[in-house]
């Protein structure tokens, strides 16, 4: 996906009024960064109107090895350039879904007590992709009560950990506890969208160790059609054999 396309989609998601001021309580968060210890988490104050970072904590370089000044100068556009190519579409989808949920399902008071989480991979200074779990709490809103300034905490995890891209929205309720109002596994949803209902029928029967002939008879289709479905399914999931396919779905039963 080209940089211009990402910018256009992001602008549509966060289309808002252009006037933004940094309030005193946000300035106080910046002052506190001096006292935070070095660890695997850094935080930024994000400005979705200007697609910039109002502040980046000192742990950014410790976590990623990247230059904090380049991040400040390049803004979100620079940060997006670090994303794993396979994660960009899913990340955009997670933002779109979260914003749609926020603006259509929540009232004005709820929006002020929400916390949002999603994840993706970025390339660190060594050229290695690492997992990033981002948790953002809105700090300021525009005239339509759309969040525009956020406090984003980023936890960096080893790239060898395989993580589905997920998005969640949690509400701080009257008991002062966060309750999950929205959760979606974007990776699984994307996979399900790629598989037709007939292909899903074939997968279910393959898992029960049915042969192509048996599947054809059960579904009232030709063996040739069954074999075509099998080849298409393997291609979609980047698998090389039916054995791999069976193991994949046995380990991920929720996909079917």
> Could you say which of 185, 218, 238 is where a domain stops?
185
pLDDT of 64: 95
Residues 149 and 249 in one domain: no
pLDDT in tens, 101-136: 999 999 988 998 999 999 999 999 999 999 999 999
pLDDT in tens, 183-231: 988 887 766 677 888 888 898 899 888 999 999 999 999 999 999 999 9
The whole domain housing 215 covers: 195-255
Does 35 fall in a domain? Answer: yes
Q: What secondary structure does DSSP assign to 172-193, as a single string?
A: E-TTS-EEEEEEEEHHHHHHHH
Residues 168 and 200 in one domain: no
pLDDT of 255: 60
Residues 101 and 211 in one domain: no
pLDDT in tens, 20-69: 566 665 676 677 676 666 678 899 999 998 899 999 998 999 999 999 99
Residues 173 and 53 in one domain: yes
Does 86 fall in a domain? Answer: yes
> Could you say which of 124, 157, 185 is where a domain stops?
185
Q: CATH number, domain at 132?
A: 3.30.450.20
> Could you say which of 155, 185, 215 is where a domain stops?
185
pLDDT of 92: 93
Does 190 fall in a domain? Answer: no
Burial track 188-216 (b if 16+ CB lie within 10 A, e otherwise): ebebeeebeeebbbbbebbbeebebeebb
pLDDT of 217: 92
Residues 244 and 213 in one domain: yes
Global pTM reads 0.72
pLDDT in tens, 166-188: 999 999 888 888 899 999 888 87
Which token pair is 101? Answer: 């949920």
């Amino acid at each position: 996906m080209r940089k211009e396309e990402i910018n256009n989609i992001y602008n549509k998601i966060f289309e808002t009024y252009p006037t933004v001021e940094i309030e005193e309580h946000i300035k106080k968060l910046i002052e506190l960064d001096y006292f935070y210890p070095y660890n695997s988490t850094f935080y930024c104050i994000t400005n979705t109107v200007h697609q910039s970072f109002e502040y980046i904590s000192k742990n950014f370089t410790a976590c990623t090895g990247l230059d904090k000044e380049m991040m400040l100068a390049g803004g979100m556009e620079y940060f997006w350039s670090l994303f794993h190519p396979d994660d960009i579409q899913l990340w955009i989808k997670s933002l779109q879904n979260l914003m749609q949920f926020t603006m259509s399902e929540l009232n004005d008071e709820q929006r002020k007590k929400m916390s949002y989480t999603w994840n993706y991979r970025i390339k660190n200074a060594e050229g290695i992709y690492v997992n990033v779990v981002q948790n953002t709490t809105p700090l300021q809103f525009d005239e339509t009560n759309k969040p525009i300034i956020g406090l984003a905490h980023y936890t960096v995890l080893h790239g060898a950990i395989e993580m589905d891209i997920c998005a969640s929205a949690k509400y701080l309720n009257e008991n002062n506890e966060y309750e999950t109002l929205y959760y979606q596994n974007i990776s699984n949803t994307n996979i399900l969208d790629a598989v037709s209902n007939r292909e899903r029928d074939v997968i279910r029967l393959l898992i029960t160790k049915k042969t192509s002939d048996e599947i054809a008879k059960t579904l009232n289709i030709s063996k040739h059609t069954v074999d075509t479905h099998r080849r298409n399914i393997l291609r979609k999931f980047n698998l090389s054999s039916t054995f791999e396919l069976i193991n994949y779905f046995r380990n991920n039963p929720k996909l079917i």
